[in-house]
Structure 1
Amino acid sequence: MAHTSRAIPVDRIKLIVLDLDGTLIDSRTDLANSVNAMLTQLGRQPLPEEIIATYIGDGAGMLVRRALGDPHDEPLVEDALNRFLEYYREHKLDHTYVYEGVFEALDHLRNGNRQLAVLTNKPVGPAQVICDHLGLAPYFFQIYGGNSFETKKPDPFGLRRLLQEANAAPEEAVMIGDSDVDILTAQRAGTWAIGCLFGLSSHTLESIPADFLAHRPLDWITALGGPQPVSR
């Protein structure tokens, strides 16, 4: 059952921007394996996947920094990040999959004159390759990553860029994501926000009010009023 707190003006929505990890895809195992490969290379003990999952959502740099225990040794962090990215580039699709219901939901959401885009804090290169490989890319007119701009979410710059490109006002757009970072980005840009309770960082949604909370991707249809299948 989907939870709703504020009715989104469905008929006015022209742009839907989605996060990637924990929203469209479950990438937890590949991210955790890459973090642990990096830790092992540095002679450190691997971490449980459940712990690493709580570090996801603010980009690769913060993921690595948290896994190292937030050290002040910047050369160490930079070396670790390079090791993480090198491993992740090779293993980003070992276990990563699209959540059940995502394709059906996207088919509904893109009806009419709506445009869909991805705004993730994951580096844009891996993000685009993953979307291509898993069949998500055709749904989106734009895929932006954490290194597409000088700032990343929750800074609203990327979301505002997408508003410009889609010729949409903030009140005509929705940000969908699984973390407080996504909801905060939406609030700062003035758009509507849908939180995904099934995602990797859903525990962070308790601290910030979204306009709608989805328990599964198909709930996006409920929130945004996509045309329902006609029963005969």
Structure 2
Amino acid sequence: MKPSSNRWRHFDVWPPKNTKKHTLYLSGNEKLKAEQGNAGSVDYISDPKKPVPHSAKIGRGWDRPYMVEDQRFAARRPDVLVFETDILEDDLTLAGAIDLDLWFSTNKSAADIVVKLVDVFPSVDANTNKVDKDKGNRHELVRWGVIRGRFRESMSEPKAFTPNEPSLVNFELYDVLHTFKRGHKLQIQIQSSMFPFIDMNPQNYVENIFEAKESDFTKAIHTIHHTDKLQSAIHFTTLN
């Protein structure tokens, strides 16, 4: 794979040896921090009638170039949560899997959780100190993943959410080899739809989602918790 530092890397094993584990905790003020905190929670309204699109491009179906699209179109939406680090002082190369521990609750009984890993470019190039007209402030999609909430504990035994009761949702993004350059920021976006790439979740639990009635599809308030007892976090390894 080719990381953003524009050079090939070769490893004898994968994940590579000599890596370092990191954890970033979701915190208040849309921050990702290395230290645990007690910043409460943040919520968003997910509306099946106004889903987050997988692309800003208007079309009849799946727009194939979505993986290279600037993600600012999603970050601007009120139904997308954004958490990011401060500006990086040094290059940060992620190598391997990305694990997510999210304390999640909803006022309904079903939900999808979509997480994107995003590389936020600076408006000014760190090397030339000039405004980057081509990629200034670009939000570049690195990886994304989704979990249908009913399968958060088992793929064979689906389970509804208990309304307003926090549940720990664990899932893994695909492996990555990517360098967040000095001057950039690491960001994650959290949302509950990615239409039409992912079919809509009614947000009211039904045994068979393909038999859901129109009345089953309702707005829901979803909450991500980041308190001292409910620490939502992202875990990854970096090259030393």
| TM-score normalised over the length of structure 2 | 0.25
Task: Tell me: higher relative CO, structure 1 or 2? Use CA pairs within 8 A at least 6 residues apart.
Answer: 2
Higher gyration radius (CA): 2
More helix by share: 1
| TM-score normalised over the length of structure 1 | 0.26
